[in-house]
Structure 1
Amino acid sequence: MTGFARHRRSGRVIAAFTGFEADLLRSLASQLVELLRNEAAVPQDARDPFEALMDFGGPTTEPEDPVLRRLFPTAYPGDEEAAAEFRRYTEGALRDGKAAAAATIIDALEEAGLPAELTEDGLMIDVELDEPTAETWLRSFTDLRLALATRLGIEDGDEAVWAALPDEDPRSQAHDIYEWIGYLQETLVDALTQR
């Protein structure tokens, strides 16, 4: 994988993934979609008929999962009522948007030829994205990195801790994936800023 680049003639954003890389990226995006869609959001009863009509019955409390708490932080930490109202009106749409962005990665990889079951060694997946789709991937990379950082407990300034882990430590391997997503994100930003 060489990262993302801007195609000179078409202006589209391109990348080539090995089959393993594409399958890993699809798996990460699938896990994110599953997490976003499976934790039950507890709606508040809407007493106002207009609110009931407009379906503003979203969750009013923080998600239980730490990754979801990181993806949907409390908007008003000092004001529980305002935070609950903000969450009720926004979290459902935000979850749907993040899940749709992750699904865009899955769809693009499969449209580029990634099979449902990866059985072939040496498979290369060439992805070509228009600018809006590339921007969607970029947003999803941010979500994937936040999810991985939360699960792993990565904090600013702890690079030495991660560098000291032996290669066979599963946390080291997961951290490598976190770094790889960061690399993809960085090259995608560079490609999008090229004209």
Structure 2
Amino acid sequence: MFTADATAFLSEIADDNTPAFFAAHRDRRTAALDAPMRALAAALAEEFGPLRVLRPQRNRRFRPDAPPYRTDAGLVAADPPRAVLLSAAALTVSAGPWRFDAGQRTRFRAAVDDGLAALLEGWTVASPRLTGLPRGFRADAPHLALLRLGGLQVERSWPVGEWLGTDEPVRRVRETWRAAGPLLRWLDRHVGPADPVVPRPRPAVPG
């Protein structure tokens, strides 16, 4: 599925993250990364729905100092949140929201119990955590480590190797997302979607 040039390109763009390098190697990136990612998305779509291939350019609207090009490649889905990221070092498959909004966070903390702790066994939790106490909870609250979570994105990751050139990526992504199904259903039942963003009214312009 992925040739050795996929990870070689990602390593090189990390070292030379410039428009000149990207322009000179655009076709190489398309062949080594974009085309295999589209094939991976197509292989997964029947079971998991449509997936979006990430663009190589970074969105620097809120991070103007960030490098202009991504040093990974991947797929994302919004509902439920899922992702595949290939870096020069590893293939990482994730599921669940990276960060909760205020309403989701409140509902999540109200629902944390032993059942959730059991669902997380065997997973790496990637989401950020509070270092202090969550508001309204004591230091002896049950499952304090879970209550400190700012989201609930779980992941599994594998070092790159020759297996990337086979159908193994499809199998590993599929099995990981299937395994995450019970957790995603727990999130859907207890936490729900993010609250809709209400646009701020524009101030009236004097006539």
For this structure pair, what is the TM-score category when the shorter chain's length is used for normalisation?
under 0.3
TM-score (norm 2): 0.26
Larger relative helix fraction? 1
Larger relative strand fraction? 2
Task: Tell which has more relative contact order, 1 or 2 (C-alpha 8 A, sep 6+).
Answer: 1
